[in-house]
């Protein structure tokens, strides 16, 4: 990343004035010096977001329950010339969220970009769904995002700059049979996003959501092939999404280029739902 910036500088300095302003724009859209915290960074979409933010120059705090996997992702980032640290976090408990926020703030000094990505499914038809499966999904996907935002947002307020990016789902917009718990949690994240956007706008903090469609990760790997084929048939771009599609959107929303966007839900779904 740093090498790329230097190459751009050399090209720009030998070029026209127009290019000089282009360089300053690029520098403004980079995340060098920013501190990001990504939950669920041990695999899938969260890992890809962490790698992309690190590639944009941010120092990334990687958080999830599987510390060994996080350390492997951190090592990957460091080997590529970036900066990352692994932190143990269970977003389903307030105690763990508070402890993690405290240690990240103590060790990295601040959190300026928060990606609330950790999420789980416990699918089942409503008539058979256990209360525990409803509660677990709400607590992890929605309450966890609320509590972690609450725990780190003062740090953004102090710097009068911040980005909160909540990973919701197309299912939060459309609903899905067999996913009442998951859809409710993801729809809740959209309401949370809009409310936080209104509360913190005056502090220079934007709050947005990304609503992925069907992304090929561990979360979707085990779905029956017939079900996957049925989803594919509903995607105008005629392919499943991958984690890089979501990471690119997260890096954009974190950048200064997205500074006038807040309270928005960005659909990254190949056209399967057009809100």
Would you please indicate which residues are annotated as catalytic (active-site) residues? 182
Residue 43 touches ligand NAP, criterion: CB under 6 A = yes
HSE-up (13 A, CA, CB side) for residue 127: 0
Q: Measured from the CB atom, is 59 or 96 closer to ligand NAP?
A: 96
State how far the alpha carbon of 130 is from the alpha carbons of 34, 121, 186, in Å: 42, 13, 19
3-state secondary structure 127-138: HHCCHHHHHHHH
Residue 39 touches ligand NAP, criterion: CB under 6 A = yes
Q: How far is the CB of 81 from ligand NAP (least distance, A)?
A: 23
Residue 179 touches ligand NAP, criterion: CB under 6 A = no
Q: Measured from the CB atom, is 23 or 72 closer to ligand NAP?
A: 72
Residue 90 touches ligand NAP, criterion: CB under 6 A = yes
Q: How far is the CB of 254 from ligand NAP (least distance, A)?
A: 16
Q: Total residues contacting ligand NAP (rule CB under 6 A)?
A: 29
The candidate with the shortest Cα–Cα distance to 249, out of 189, 177, 195, 168, is: 168
Part in contact with ligand NAP (CB under 6 A); list of ranges 3-11, 61-69, 198-206, 255-263 = 61-69
Q: How deeply is 156 buried, as exposed, middle or buried, from its count of CB atoms within 10 A (0-12, 13-18, 19+)?
A: buried
SS3 181: helix
Residue 86 touches ligand NAP, criterion: CB under 6 A = no
Q: Measured from the CB atom, is 12 or 211 closer to ligand NAP?
A: 211
Among 137, 156, 192, 215, the residue binding ligand NAP under the rule CB under 6 A is: 215
Q: According to CB under 6 A, which residues from 10 to 29 bind ligand NAP?
A: none
Q: Measured from the CB atom, is 146 or 214 closer to ligand NAP?
A: 214
Q: How far is the CB of 2 from ligand NAP (least distance, A)?
A: 28
CA distance 45 to 56: 16
Pairing of strands 265-268, 205-212: parallel
CA angle 10, 244, 198 (to 5 degrees): 90
HSE-up (13 A, CA, CB side) for residue 29: 13
First to last CA, the chain: 35
**Residues in Cβ contact with 82 at an 8 Å cutoff, skipping those fewer than 6 apart:** 1, 54, 55, 57, 59, 60
Part in contact with ligand NAP (CB under 6 A); list of ranges 2-10, 53-61, 101-109, 117-125 = 117-125
Residue 38 touches ligand NAP, criterion: CB under 6 A = no
Q: How far is the CB of 132 from ligand NAP (least distance, A)?
A: 14
Q: How far is the CB of 61 from ligand NAP (least distance, A)?
A: 13
């Amino acid at each position: 990343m740093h090498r790329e910036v230097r190459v751009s500088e050399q090209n720009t300095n030998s070029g026209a004035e127009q290019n000089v302003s282009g360089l300053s724009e690029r520098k403004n859209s980079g995340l060098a010096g920013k501190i990001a915290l990504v939950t669920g960074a041990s695999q899938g979409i969260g890992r890809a977001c962490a790698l992309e933010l690190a590639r944009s120059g941010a120092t990334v705090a990687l958080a999830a329950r599987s510390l060994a996997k996080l350390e492997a992702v951190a090592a990957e980032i460091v080997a590529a010339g970036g900066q990352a640290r692994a932190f143990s976090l269970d977003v389903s408990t307030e105690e763990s969220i508070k402890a993690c926020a405290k240690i990240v703030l103590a060790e990295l000094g601040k959190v300026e970009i928060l990606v609330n990505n950790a999420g789980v499914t416990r699918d089942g038809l409503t008539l058979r769904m256990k209360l525990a499966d409803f509660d677990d999904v709400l607590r992890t996907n929605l309450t966890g995002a609320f509590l972690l935002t609450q725990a780190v947002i003062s740090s953004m307020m102090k710097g009068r700059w911040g980005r909160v990016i909540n990973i919701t789902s197309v299912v939060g917009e459309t609903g899905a049979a067999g996913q009442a718990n998951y859809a409710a949690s993801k729809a809740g994240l959209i309401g949370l996003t809009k409310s936080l956007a209104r509360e913190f706008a005056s502090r220079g903090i934007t709050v947005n959501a990304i609503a992925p469609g069907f992304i090929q990760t561990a979360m979707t790997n085990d779905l029956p092939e017939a079900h996957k084929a049925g989803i594919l048939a509903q995607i105008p771009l005629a392919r499943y999404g991958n984690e890089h599609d979501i990471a690119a959107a997260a890096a954009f929303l974190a950048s200064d280029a997205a500074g006038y966007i807040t309270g928005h839900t960005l659909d990254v779904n190949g056209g399967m739902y057009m809100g």
